[in-house]
A and B are shown apart, each in its own frame.
Chain A
Amino acid sequence: DTGVSQDPRHKITKRGQNVTFRCDPISEHNRLYWYRQTLGQGPEFLTYFQNEAQLEKSRLLSDRFSAERPKGSFSTLEIQRTEQGDSAMYLCASSHPARDVGETQYFGPGTRLLVL
């Protein structure tokens, strides 16, 4: 399977703990994205990498959130001092530069986080 993979699929943690999620994009895709989805809403953009460079961060990404993509391949999203409001589905997507207008992002299965 050459799709986007995410690990873990589910995470339950206590408030105040740190958590880290991993995303492995489609191998030939140099762009990687993180989104957050809460119940009844569509995915919301968090951040975006082109190769190893983090090029854009949403205002949703507070100081407790950090994302890395050290070698331009897999990426990690860390949440420090988790809060109950962080409970959500965290989605990763990847894309390849399009030759014409528009790019299609391909999503992984997501990591569902529950903060108790």
Chain B
Amino acid sequence: DQQVKQNSPSLSVQEGRISILNCDYTNSMFDYFLWYKKYPAEGPTFLISISSIKDKNEDGRFTVFLNKSAKHLSLHIVPSQPGDSAVYFCAASEIYNFNKFYFGSGTKLNVKP
């Protein structure tokens, strides 16, 4: 039973526009959320994180939004660049078991020049 879900396997966006990647979770004990980016033949690279005490965290072109009541988080990339083309995974950990990450199945982002 997947506790973290990314329902869009792929997303295509024009360069310069906004990319919005979505993630839903079912476990109310999750209190820390992260986004990772993965290029082919490489391991996931940490992008940005947010704890449950916040609803927004921003780092340059990347912003993560957390809606705890809806159990939903999203990653906004503005403006999108061709180098952002990769698979994006959201991950979550529990408040009392923070060492174990649960990952979604990923969304493949393609940013067209």
Name A's B-contacting residues (CB within 8 A). Answer: 4, 6, 31, 33, 35, 40-45, 48, 50, 55-56, 91, 93, 95, 100-110, 112
Contacts and interface: CB of A to CB of B under 8 A. Distances in A.
Contacts of B89: 42-43
A33 B43 contact: no
The number of chain B residues touching the other chain, given as a range, is: 20 to 34
B98 A48 contact: no
Contacts of A102: 31-32, 34, 49, 51, 93, 98
Interface in B64-113: 89, 91, 93, 98-106
A68 B105 CA distance: 28
B49 A42 contact: no
Contact of A48 (B52, B99, B102, B104): B99
Nearest to B89: A42
Given A101-B51, A102-B93, A42 B104 contact: yes
Given A45-B102, A102-B98, A107 B51 contact: no
A45 B3 CA distance: 13
Contacts of A33: 99, 101
B57 to A, nearest CB: 11
Nearest to A33: B99
